[in-house]
Structure 1
Amino acid sequence: MSIIEQFSPQPKTPSLPLQAGVLAAVTVAAIALGWFAGQYLNRSSAEAAAAVETQDAAAEQDQLRGTEIQLEAITTNLAVPNTMWVRLEASIVLDQPPSPTLADEIHQDLLAYMRTVKVYQIEGASGFRNLKADLEERARIRSSGHVKQVLIRTLLFE
């Protein structure tokens, strides 16, 4: 053994009880942090669920206030490409009881509109939203503003 090795400090390793204490402290801190995070998220999800229930109840009340009429299915070909067919099943929600011929008039108007639609106009989510907005606008015009909403139940392309 050389003189340098004799006088150089030997590295100390932490004692086993100290290591166990640090491990226990970190474990307790992790458990506490997990519990607090769970409580926070649970409270947030409960508030979100209550908000959704409130919105659903309001929508249900709106539906009860209106009269919903199922229209006959619309099956026609699109303007471009004219080999592509579309089937649309929809309902309208009115703010008052309808006249006997109103549903047929709206059905014929929506059928005529669907014949003018080009496939690239209704691609994607924004195209679907635009189609729905156009259908609602045409139905409101045809009903003198009594149609509150057009509900698209099925939209198939072939």
Structure 2
Amino acid sequence: MNKENLQIATVGGGCFWCTEAVFQEVKGVEKVVSGYSGGSVPGHPTYKEICSGLTGHAEVIQITFDANVISYEDILVVFMTTHDPTTLNRQGGDVGTQYRSVIYYHDQKQKDTAEKVLKDVTPYYDDAIVTELTALDVFYKAEDYHQDYYRNNQSEGFCSFVITPKLAKLRKLHADKLKG
């Protein structure tokens, strides 16, 4: 792997435990970090503050990926097809602005690609896509116990009932993009 081919994508699709688990299985993904972005309150927020819904932050992940193995466009297609981009401030039972669907772009090229992907996937949904597209301001890493959450807690109910089915959907829709 050539480090100069590494790029970063930042997305939020509800609970970061779910999106982290999805992208940890994708070929070309080197690292996934759960965190927070998009808030209006200064300083490094805590999970408790985020859950209040008062900080304006979303639960997000930062994906470091090898662009020679998987494109940013493919990262976004996987993202848009493994969560529900049509529900405003909600993913399943998780409700609040912290669970919004969002793509934080890092530069104009990522913004242009995201606009294309959003347009391309629109016909596949019956309801309007509400995914926010916003320039990344700052990313805050979440507390350590949120990192590798699914890998460390697979037997927990939330993991079994929410994340495992998302992974099954990923494997069905994107088998060609998964690590061996």
Which TM-score applies when normalising by structure 2? 0.27
Q: Which has the higher helix share?
A: 1
Q: Does 1 or 2 have the higher relative contact order (CA < 8 Å, sep 6+)?
A: 2
Name the one with the larger strand percent.
2
